[in-house]
Amino acid sequence: MRRIEIDLIKFIAIVSVVMIHVSATDITELGIVGTWQYDASVVWRSLCGAGVPLFLMCSGALMLRPEKEITLKKLYLHNVLRLVTAMLFWAFAYKLSRLYLSGSLNFDGIIRSIKEILLFDQEFHLYYIHIMLLVYFFLPVTRSFVKNASEREMRYFLLIWLILGIVYPTVKPFRPFSLITGFPLQWAINMAYASIGYGVLGWYLSSKRPSTVLGAALAGVGFAAVFLPTMLVSRANGTLYTSSLEGMSVAICLYASGIYILCLNFGGRIRKGRDFVVYMSKASFCIYLCHIFVLRLIHHFGGFNLATPIVLIPLLTIVITAASTAVYWVISHIPILKKWIV
C-alpha cells in the first residue's frame, strides 16, 4: 500500500534537487556577489536546499518499518544489486557523453573511463548512490535497533547523531572548534554518516507525527537559518558561502525536518493530483540520475542566458524535470531497464 505523504515528500525532494543544480549553475554563471540577480539565485538555492535529506528521510520511513520484511538475500540481490547496476550504467553513460563532447571517444578513453568508474571517480551527483549503498550495508543493524529500541534509547541515538553528525560539522569551522585537532577530526563525520541518522529520523517522525505547528516552526526557522547566513556572509566575503547549504548543517536539518512534518500532516489530504504525485514519486530516482544530461544540454545551447534568475531558475527546473520524466516514461516501458537502472 502506497503512502501518499511519502510520495509527496519524494516529489518535493526531486524538484528540489533539480533546482539545486539549476541554481548552482546559474550562480556560477553570474559570479558577481551582491547583485539582485545573484541574490535571487541564492533565494532559490536556499528554498530547495532540503532535497537530499528529504530523500534519506523517506528511505528510512519506508525501509525501517518493523513490519516490512527485508531478508539479507533480498537486500543484496534486489536493493544493493539494483543500486550498483544503476550506478555503473549511468556513470558509464556520463563518461561516454564527456568523451564524445571532448572528442576523446576512443578505445583508450573508454578504458580510462572504466577504471575511473571502478574507483568511484564518477559524475558528481551519483554520490547519492554511494551514500545509499552504505545505508543498505548498515540496514540490518539499523532495522534491528529501530525494532527493539525503547523510546529513551531512540531519543538517545537521535541526540548523539544530531550532535556528532549535524551540530559538530556545522560549528567545526568556527573558533574555538577550529582549534581542535586530533581524534574529533579523525572520526570522518561526513554526509555518509549523517545519512544513517537522517533515515532513522525519517522513520521516527513518521511514526510520531509531530504537530503541524512544530513543522511550520522548524521549516520557517530552518529556511531563515539557511538563507540569511548564505546571503549576508556571501556579500561580506565576496564569494558564495555554502556552509548553511550543506546537508549536514543544523539549518538544513531543521528545514528538512519541518518540510517532512508538514507533508506527513497534509499529504493524506491530497485528492486532486494524487495520481500525478504518485507518478512523480515513482519517477524520482530516474529523474535524479538523468537530469544532469538535460541540464548540460540546455547549458550547451545557451539556455541559461534566456532570462533573469528569478524567472529562469524555476522555469528551467520545470523544463528539466519534465524532460527527465519523459526519459523515465520511455525506460519504464522497457521491463529490464525499469527493473535495474531506474
Task: Give per-residue pLDDT as tens, 37-80.
Answer: 888 888 999 999 999 999 999 999 999 998 888 999 999 999 99
In a 3-state reduction of DSSP, which class is residue 191?
A: helix
pLDDT for the residue numbered 33:
73
Tracing cell 538563507 back to the chain, one arrives at 227
pLDDT in the model for residue 163: 84
What residues have CB less than 8 Å from 141, skipping those under 6 apart? none
For residues 78-96, give the mean pLDDT: 94
Start-to-end CA distance of the chain, whole Å, equals: 20
User: Which has the minimum average pLDDT: 25-34, 68-77, 304-313, 321-330?
Assistant: 25-34
Q: Where are the domains of the chain?
A: 4-64+125-141+150-340
pTM (2 d.p.): 0.91
> 145-191: per-residue pLDDT in tens?
999 999 999 999 999 888 877 887 787 777 776 666 554 443 444 55
Determine what percent of the chain is predicted with pLDDT higher than 70: 93
Q: What pLDDT does 183 receive?
A: 44
